[in-house]
């Protein structure tokens, strides 16, 4: 049952060294404030799973907290390469990084299999793709009815899932709008789930009966962190800070610049720093 | 109006390849520019789909990422990412996938994963994202990419997504029933696969571009089709729409 709590407490109660963690949000609703709190609390040897690692995992990788990365697209979308990730893969800085690489279709299917309680996901994929030769977790299976050869990958069941959403109510039910990515699947497939939200309301008001709502009993902790997705965005609250995504390319390019930025904006900061991005109504 | 640049000719020519009735899975960057230009000119009813789950999107400015809010706000509907890949892409609903590449070979196979060895890369690139399944599940594939011998290579460092594999019949042997890459638009020319060999060859040269220029910018021994035409120059309407789109986009992204 979801407990409404402070961010520090939510992370301390649900995250451990060595966890298999998935922080999701497909461009939208990326839980940056929660990620910063995980970084501040110093957890290490993490296996991090995420379709699009982008800036949020670049920070974990550059700080040396990641043992293994499971992913399907490791770029800064529309800007370029992911430079701390690159440095780890190419130069083992600040430490070697084990990778398990998939396609988007594979990971989306694997999250869905995780939520569905299946051991693996089956789909028509990886045909003629070399990833199948370098990733031993990509296998194939024959359809028992047609004989068609299909791809199979293990389901994703994280120790802890963290997502951001627009609203929760007092019972801890969480409502997600806009580009919903794999938010629902990652939570339902995980052992523990933390959701940060823009606001906590008395009730959701007049919403579609088919609105995407995760009941409070599927979540462990709900935390109010206005602006908590910045520089990603929250549909209906604030827009994606594309200028900051471009600036990340400069910050992450140099090891010292990166470390200084992390010290100032993450290690010596707190979740309140995100509040200035929250401006409801700006979009 | 000033003369079109080769980049503008590339985008306009890529846009023209799309039909008003197409359902198009859009890659970010050059494909996104071409697809939206098509929508703003000759193909107002085209359905543009981005892998973030936005179906029938009509963005006013080009998105920086595949999931900018603008895409969702202007879409017919937005579905989850698993639904996008399962029902819409794998389900066979997409007529055209529009991709770009870091490296491309003569058969339209694409590398966006690594330069060098996979386990010890010289440059680690972002990886495939949606491309491995886009390349096999869409009815056909259009590719747009700027010409250079670094990008148009004799041999890929990594086989991220399949084009025509090693030539005729390769896709069929893998159980792939879709057409694969049928058109490649660069800033110098248009290329199409030879019907017998599946090898991409030049079918039209952009205005003012010579055969030698294209040959020098291609890392494999380039072939030309029996009939090579000159690419029709962009019209004022196309050029105007493209420039306005890029202007709106630059203003929106800087002002963020």
In a domain, residue A127? The reply is: no
Domains: count for chain A: 1
Residue A49 domain boundaries:
3-102+157-272
Q: For helices A54-62 and A83-91, what crossing angle results, to 10°?
A: 40
Phi, psi of A197 (to 5 degrees): -135, 160
Which helix H or strand E contains A90, and what residues bound it?
A: helix A83-91
Q: Do residues A70 and A102 make contact, with C-beta atoms less than 8 angstroms apart?
A: yes
Cβ–Cβ of B81/A51 closer than 8 Å? yes
Contact A83, A55 (CB under 8 A): no
Report the DSSP beta bridge partners of residue A75. Answer: A81
Pull the structure tokens for residue A51. Answer: 């379709």
Mutate to test the interface with A, among B28, B31, B65, B75 (most CBs of A within 10 A): B65
Q: Is A236 domain-assigned?
A: yes
Residue B172 burial (C-beta neighbours within 10 Å; 0-12, 13-18, 19+): exposed
User: What are the tens digits of pLDDT across the range A144-203?
Assistant: 999 999 999 999 999 999 999 999 999 999 999 999 999 999 999 999 999 999 999 999
B-chain CB neighbours of A244 within 8 Å are 256
Q: Domain holding B171: CATH number?
A: 3.40.1080.10
Q: Is residue A27 part of a domain?
A: yes
Whether A120 is in a domain gets the answer no
Any domain includes A147: no
User: Which of B133, B138, B254 to mutate: most A Cβ within 10 Å?
Assistant: B133
Q: How far apart are the C-alpha atoms of A96 and A76, rounded to whole Å?
A: 21
DSSP B20: T
Partner residue facing B159 (CB), from A51, A109, A130:
A130
Is B244 a member of any domain? yes
The distance between the two most distant Cα atoms of chain A, rounded to a whole number of Å, is: 59
The residue range of the domain holding B236 is 6-251
- Cα–Cα distances in Å, from A237 out to A78, A117, A195, A227? 23, 34, 17, 8
Q: Is B51 an active-site residue?
A: yes
Residue B164, domain member (yes or no): yes
From CA A70, how far away is CA B197, in angstroms rounded?
A: 38
The secondary structure of B24-55 as a DSSP string is: EEEPTTHHHHHHHHHHHTT-TT-EEEETTTEE
What's phi and psi for A222, nearest 5 deg? -120, 130
Vertex A31 angle, CA A29 and A36, to 5°: 155
DSSP string over B149-206: TTTB-SS-SS--B-SSTTSTTHHHHTT--S--EEEEE-SSEEEEE-TTT--EEEEEE-
How many domains, in total, are found in chain B?
A: 1
**Residues of chain A found within 8 Å of residue B172, distances taken between Cβ atoms:** none
- Residue A280: its pLDDT value, please? 52
Residue A90: how many CB atoms within 10 A of its CB? 16
Nearest in space to A26 (alpha carbons), one of A160, A176, A180: A180
Q: How far apart are CA B163 and CA B183, in angstroms?
A: 11
Interface test with B, best of A81, A127, A142, A238 (most B CBs within 10 A): A127
Question: Using a CB-CB distance cutoff of 8 angstroms, which residues of chain A are in contact with residue B130?
Answer: 73, 103-105
pLDDT given for residue B191 in this prediction: 98
Q: Contact A76/A92 with Cβ under 8 angstroms? A: no
For residue B253, what pLDDT is reported? Answer: 79
| Cα–Cα distances in angstroms (integers) from residue B149 to residues A164, A210, B109, B152, B222, in the given order | 44, 51, 15, 5, 11
Say yes or no: A179 contacts chain B, CB-CB below 8 A: yes
Closest CA to A123 of A137, A133, A108: A108
Residue B85 lies in a domain: yes
Chain A, 224 to 283: residues with Cβ < 8 Å from chain B are 233, 235, 239-246, 283
Asked whether residue B112 is domain-assigned, the answer is yes
Type and span of the H or E element at A60 = helix A54-62
User: How far apart are the CA of B66 and the nearest CA of chain A, in angstroms?
Assistant: 7
A282 pLDDT above the threshold of 60: no
Residue B256 resides in a domain? no
The model's pLDDT over A218-273, given as tens digits with 9 standing for 90+, comes to: 999 999 999 999 999 999 999 999 899 999 999 999 999 999 999 999 999 999 99
**Cβ contact (<8 Å) for A185 and B82?**
yes
Give the model confidence (pLDDT) of A140-156 as tens digits.
999 999 999 999 999 99
Q: Do A108 and B129 touch (CB under 8 A)?
A: no
Residue A62: inside a domain: yes
> Which of B29, B78, B90 comes nearest A123 by C-beta?
B90
Report the CATH number that the domain containing residue A264 is assigned in CATH. 3.40.1080.10
Asked if residue B35 is part of any domain, the answer here is: yes
Chain A contacts in chain B segment 201-240 (CB below 8 A):
none
pLDDT by position in tens, chain B (length 256)? 899 999 999 999 999 999 999 999 998 889 999 999 999 999 999 999 999 999 999 999 999 888 889 999 999 999 999 999 999 999 999 999 999 999 999 999 999 999 999 999 999 999 999 999 999 999 999 999 999 999 999 999 999 999 999 999 999 999 999 999 999 999 999 999 999 999 999 999 999 999 999 999 999 999 999 999 999 999 999 999 999 999 999 988 775 4
Q: What is the mean pLDDT of residues A2-24?
A: 98
Closest chain A C-alpha to B226 CA, distance in angstroms: 30
């Amino acid at each position: 049952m979801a407990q409404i709590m402070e961010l520090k407490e939510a992370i301390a109660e649900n995250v451990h060294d060595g966890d298999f963690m998935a922080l999701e949000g497909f461009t939208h609703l990326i839980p940056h404030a929660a990620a910063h709190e995980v970084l501040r609390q110093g957890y290490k040897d993490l296996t991090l799973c995420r379709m699009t690692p982008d800036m949020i995992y670049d920070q974990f990788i550059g700080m040396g907290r990641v043992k293994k990365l499971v992913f399907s697209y490791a770029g800064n979308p529309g800007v370029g390469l992911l430079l701390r990730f690159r440095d780890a893969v190419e130069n083992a800085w600040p430490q070697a990084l084990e990778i398990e690489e998939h396609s988007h279709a594979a990971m989306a299917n694997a999250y869905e299999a995780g939520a569905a309680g299946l051991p693996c996901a089956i789909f028509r994929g990886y045909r003629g793709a070399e990833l199948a030769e370098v990733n031993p977790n990509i296998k194939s299976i024959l359809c028992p009815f047609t004989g068609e050869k299909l791809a199979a990958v293990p389901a994703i069941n994280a120790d802890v899932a963290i997502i951001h959403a627009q609203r929760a109510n007092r019972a801890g039910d969480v409502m997600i709008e806009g580009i919903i990515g794999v938010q629902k699947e990652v939570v339902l497939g995980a052992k523990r789930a933390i959701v940060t939200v823009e606001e906590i309301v008395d009730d959701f008001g007049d919403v579609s009966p088919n609105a995407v709502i995760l009941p409070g009993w599927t979540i462990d902790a709900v935390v109010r962190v206005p602006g908590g997705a910045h520089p990603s965005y929250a549909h209906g609250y604030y827009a994606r800070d594309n200028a900051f995504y471009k600036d990340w390319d400069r910050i992450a390019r140099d090891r010292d610049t990166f470390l200084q930025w992390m010290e100032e904006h993450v290690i010596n900061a707190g979740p309140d720093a995100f509040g200035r991005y929250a401006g409801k109504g700006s979009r | 109006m000033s003369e079109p640049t080769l980049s503008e000719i590339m985008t306009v020519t890529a846009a023209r390849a799309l039909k008003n009735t197409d359902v198009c899975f859009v890659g970010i960057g050059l494909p996104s520019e071409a697809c939206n230009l098509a929508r703003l000119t000759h193909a107002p009813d085209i359905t543009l789909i981005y892998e973030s789950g936005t179906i029938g999107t009509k963005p006013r400015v080009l998105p920086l990422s595949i999931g900018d809010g603008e895409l969702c706000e202007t879409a017919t509907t937005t579905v989850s990412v698993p639904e996008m890949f399962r029902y819409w892409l794998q389900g066979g609903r997409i007529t055209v996938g529009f991709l770009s590449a870091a490296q491309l070979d003569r058969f339209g196979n694409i590398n966006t994963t690594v330069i060098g060895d996979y386990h010890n890369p010289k440059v680690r690139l972002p990886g495939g994202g949606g491309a491995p399944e886009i390349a096999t599940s869409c009815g056909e594939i259009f590719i747009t990419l700027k010409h250079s011998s670094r990008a148009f290579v004799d041999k890929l460092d990594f086989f991220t997504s399949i084009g025509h594999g090693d030539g005729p019949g390769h896709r069929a042997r893998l159980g792939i029933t879709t057409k694969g890459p049928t058109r490649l638009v660069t800033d110098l020319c248009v290329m199409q696969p030879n019907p017998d060999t599946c090898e991409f060859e030049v079918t039209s040269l952009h205005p003012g571009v010579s055969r030698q220029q294209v040959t020098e910018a291609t890392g494999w021994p380039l072939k030309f089709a029996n009939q090579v035409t000159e690419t029709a120059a962009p019209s004022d309407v196309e050029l105007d729409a493209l420039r306005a789109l890029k202007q709106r986009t630059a203003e929106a992204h800087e002002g963020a």
